[in-house]
A and B are shown apart, each in its own frame.
Chain A
Amino acid sequence: MDIFSSLAEQLINGLRTGSIYALIALGYTMVYGIAKMINFAHGDIIMVGAYLLFLLGVGKLGLPTPVVILLAIILCAVLGMLIEKIAYKPLRNAPPLAVLITAIGVSYFLQNFVLISMGATPIPFASMIKVPSLTLGTITVSGITLATLVVTFVCMAGLIFFVQRTKTGAAMRAVSEDRGAAELMGINVNKTISLTFAIGSGLAAVAGLLFISQYESLQPTLGALPGIKAFVAAVLGGIGSIPGAIAGGIILGIIESLTKAYISTQLSDAISFSVLVLVLLIRPAGIMGKMKNEKV
């Protein structure tokens, strides 16, 4: 294979991984924007989503694939709202550190709940996405890659349309900027926060589907690594910024894939995190984040 097609393939691989990171990063960034907290349990929603796909489908109930996917998204959205209501809402006025620790607690809770109910042994789970691969000249793009790119593109476009063009989206942006002023407009802040968690968790379920279709093995900790990478992506892009999360995810995915192919597989994480450090040294608010002076 010539250098050009190998590079093109690596870029496409990077785009695939990166768009999954981006989808997860959107959840982090939206929740941060509206609720001003880092939801460290977000990665575990991906894991719960993946298990739900398994249990609703081949693993237990054997429902048809479209129903399985839809149900898993809805259930994850509900789970996100529940977590917010039970764990985070009582801490709305608590110091950020208390919220952070609670989020880590929720993450452990979800992992251990699945560990107890489903066991620690990895469960093989064949990909639910069956799309034929595509060959363009010397480059072959796998079916999963195609599906991932299309699905993430549709989700992102839909989300941006929702946030920028609808009344509820405008209300979300208003809450993100000034909660009190938003309430004066008649916007129900609690409902808006709840909705944000639902959307973020729904997107995490989609990410879970795409992620598990690639790795084809279930275990309770499967959400941890993509979760932390997506968090990095969100910070890289500028936490709170939706285009930032998308850019951050894709950049991180491409760096990772190029490092793995041309430098070293072992060093790939080290190199991607070094990029994060470098970017934050130059732009502390991230690529698209707003430089803000902390108000005293």
Chain B
Amino acid sequence: MSMLEVTDLNVYYGMIHAIRDVSFTVEQGEVIALIGANGAGKTTILHTVTRLLASKSGSVQFEGKDITHAPAHSIVRLGMSHVPEGRRVFADLSVYENLKLGAYTRSKAETEESLQDVYKRFPRLEERKSQLSGTLSGGEQQMLAMGRALMSRPKIILMDEPSMGLSPLFVNEIFNIIQEVSASGTTVLLVEQNAKKALSIADRAYVLETGKIIKSGAASDLIHDEDIKKAYLGE
């Protein structure tokens, strides 16, 4: 049994058929990358998995449990955390309040424990804990969004374009953190436009084009694939 199993997923935006028969699996402990151009449907897939969007047909199974029709707010409780595109931190709330909301479904003691872990991983967040999140830099907001997602101690973390709009220095830092998160035992499903970076840390990857998976395989193979090189790696 795979940890996450998406089968024949179809998603529409009104009349537009955005996701076509997409199937993929994520095994426990893996780092899986979904790569593809802007508008290929990567974000839509993540939104459908965590139920921010409804699918037309197909199924999503997490640890053998069918979550295709589960309410969105119940997903995090199952052990799945989503770092959304554009970070979506609560700008009018402090860093500390954002982090605490990340552990909304957990007890006070567990929250405190997770908070110390997150502060250890992101010392900058502790320095800025009473600052309003809207005043943080883009990179800091990304760290906050990741820290907030980790507050629920997820089994799997879904990350949507974590490197978007960040300086190269921050991009490296964010990818280091993703590797650390993975090393600590959390499964990672990563959506990235920066295909080179994503493939360099992923175990396997799926390549998406206009709502369809056109290629999949070991990241180490895909990084040397001639078509992929031409289309996504700019070589």
Measuring CB to CB, which residues of chain A are less than 8 angstroms from any residue of chain B?
A: 167, 170-171, 173-174, 177-178, 180-189
Q: Which residues of A contact B104 (CB under 8 A)?
A: 167, 171, 185-187
Q: Knowing A170-B93, A181-B88 are in contact, say whether A186-B76 is a contact too (CB < 8 A).
A: yes
| Inter-subunit contact B52/A173 (CB<8 Å) | no
B212 contacts the other chain (CB 8 A): no
Measuring CB to CB, which residues of chain B are less than 8 angstroms from any residue of chain A?
A: 50-52, 71-77, 81-82, 84, 88-93, 97, 100-102, 104-105, 148-149, 152
Q: Which residues of B contact A177 (CB under 8 A)?
A: 90-93
Residue of B nearest to A191 (CB): B73
Q: Which residues of A contact B51 (CB under 8 A)?
A: 183
| Inter-subunit contact B90/A183 (CB<8 Å) | no
Q: Knowing A171-B101, A173-B92, A177-B91 are in contact, say whether A186-B84 is a contact too (CB < 8 A).
A: no
| Inter-subunit contact A173/B93 (CB<8 Å) | yes
| Inter-subunit contact A178/B73 (CB<8 Å) | no
Most buried by B among A173, A178, A183: A183
**CA of A183 to CA of B71 in the docked complex: distance in angstroms?**
9
Q: How far is the CB of B89 from chain A (nearest CB, A)?
A: 8
Q: Knowing A184-B76, A184-B82, A189-B73 are in contact, say whether A178-B52 is a contact too (CB < 8 A).
A: no
Main secondary structure of the interface of A (DSSP, over half): helix
| Inter-subunit contact B90/A178 (CB<8 Å) | yes
Q: How far is the CB of A264 from chain B (nearest CB, A)?
A: 42
Q: Which residues of B contact A174 (CB under 8 A)?
A: 90, 93, 101
**CA of A171 to CA of B73 in the docked complex: distance in angstroms?**
12
Of A167, A178, A183, A184, which contacts B100 at CB under 8 A?
A167
| Inter-subunit contact A188/B73 (CB<8 Å) | yes
**CA of A186 to CA of B88 in the docked complex: distance in angstroms?**
15
**CA of A183 to CA of B74 in the docked complex: distance in angstroms?**
8
Of the A-B pairs whose beta carbons lie under 8 Å apart in the complex, a sample of 23, sorted by A's number, is A170-B93, A170-B100, A171-B104, A173-B97, A174-B93, A177-B90, A178-B88, A181-B88, A183-B51, A183-B52, A183-B73, A184-B52, A184-B81, A184-B84, A184-B149, A185-B73, A185-B76, A185-B148, A186-B73, A186-B74, A186-B76, A186-B105, A188-B73
Residue of A nearest to B47 (CB): A180
Q: How far is the CB of B65 from chain A (nearest CB, A)?
A: 16
**CA of A182 to CA of B77 in the docked complex: distance in angstroms?**
13
Q: Which residues of A contact B77 (CB under 8 A)?
A: 186
Residue of A nearest to B111 (CB): A167
Q: Knowing A186-B77, A186-B104 are in contact, say whether A180-B52 is a contact too (CB < 8 A).
A: yes
Q: How far is the CB of B134 from chain A (nearest CB, A)?
A: 10
Q: Which residues of A contact B76 (CB under 8 A)?
A: 184-186
| Inter-subunit contact B93/A184 (CB<8 Å) | no
Most buried by B among A177, A183, A185, A187: A185
**CA of A171 to CA of B148 in the docked complex: distance in angstroms?**
14
Residue of A nearest to B149 (CB): A184
**CA of A187 to CA of B113 in the docked complex: distance in angstroms?**
20
| Inter-subunit contact A184/B50 (CB<8 Å) | yes
Residue of A nearest to B77 (CB): A186
**CA of A89 to CA of B31 in the docked complex: distance in angstroms?**
39
**CA of A233 to CA of B204 in the docked complex: distance in angstroms?**
58
Residue of A nearest to B145 (CB): A181
**CA of A182 to CA of B50 in the docked complex: distance in angstroms?**
12
